[in-house]
Every structure is written in C-alpha cells, then in structure tokens.
C-alpha cells in the first residue's frame, strides 16, 4: 500500500515532492528520473547505469504485478531482464547496500515492499 502520510518534502527542480516518514513517495505518479536522482543524492548514493537498469526492472515489476518485490523475486526479475550475472543478491547488495529491495523500491518510486524485513 502506498503511504498517505506526508512527512516532508523533497525539492526537485521547482517542485516539492511529498515523502512519507521512510522516504517513499506519497504519490507514486510523482516519480521521474530526476526524482530518483534527487533521492539518491540526498542519501549520498551515486547512480550508475547498473543502478538505472535495476530501477527499470523494479518499475516494470510494479507495472506487471502491482506490488513491489521483496529480495527473492527482485533477484529473479533482475536475472530475467538483465541476465544471470546480474541476477545475484551480491550484485544487488553492492548497488544498494543495506536492503536492495527497500532502497531500490524507494528510488524507483514504488511503495515499500510488504513482504520484507
């Protein structure tokens, strides 16, 4: 479920994008690559092509299944879309340290994955 509670705003260009207490978008339709970039910058993350590839996989997943994936299906989806070399949890842990499913979902403008620690 998308959170509805506005906790703070993220300035992107000339717009203020509402975020929930955990930094997820309150309105999923607010997402754009610029928003992803701003979220990443705020967290001190640099986005490479590998990151953008995974963000695209995440957004495709949400379009197909109307849910953000937890780690296991994320690994599977990345493997299917980008090849077995990238469909590994190690690869995702390097790209999005801490929790790839949660950080990835946040940057990709998805709700917080439900089935995930």
CB closer to other proteins out of 70 and 100 = 70
Residues 41-70 that bind other proteins (CB under 8 A): 61, 64-67, 69-70
Cα distance between residue 9 and residue 17, in whole Å: 5
Phi, psi of 81 (to 5 degrees): -85, -35
Q: Who's near 66: CB < 8 A, 6+ residues apart?
A: none
Decide if residue 115 touches other proteins (CB under 8 A).
Answer: yes
CB of 37 to other proteins, least distance (A): 28
Closest CA to 12 of 27, 43, 33, 29: 33
Residue 27 is a binding residue for other proteins (CB under 8 A) = no
Q: Is 35 in the site for other proteins (CB under 8 A)?
A: no
Please choose, out of 14-22, 32-40, 71-79, 81-89, the segment that lies near other proteins by the rule CB under 8 A. 71-79
Neighbours of 85 (CB within 10 A): 9
Q: Does 2 bind other proteins (CB under 8 A)?
A: no
């Amino acid at each position: 479920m998308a959170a509805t509670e506005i906790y703070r705003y993220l300035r992107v260009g000339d717009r203020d994008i509402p975020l929930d207490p955990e930094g997820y978008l309150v309105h999923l339709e607010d997402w754009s690559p610029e928003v992803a970039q701003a979220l990443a910058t705020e967290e001190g993350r640099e986005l490479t092509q590998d990151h953008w590839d995974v963000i695209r996989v995440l957004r495709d997943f949400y379009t197909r299944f109307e849910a953000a994936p937890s780690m296991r299906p994320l690994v599977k989806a990345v493997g299917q879309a980008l090849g077995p070399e990238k469909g590994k949890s190690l690869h995702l842990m390097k790209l999005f340290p801490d929790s790839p499913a949660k950080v990835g979902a946040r940057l990709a403008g998805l709700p917080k994955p439900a089935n995930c620690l």
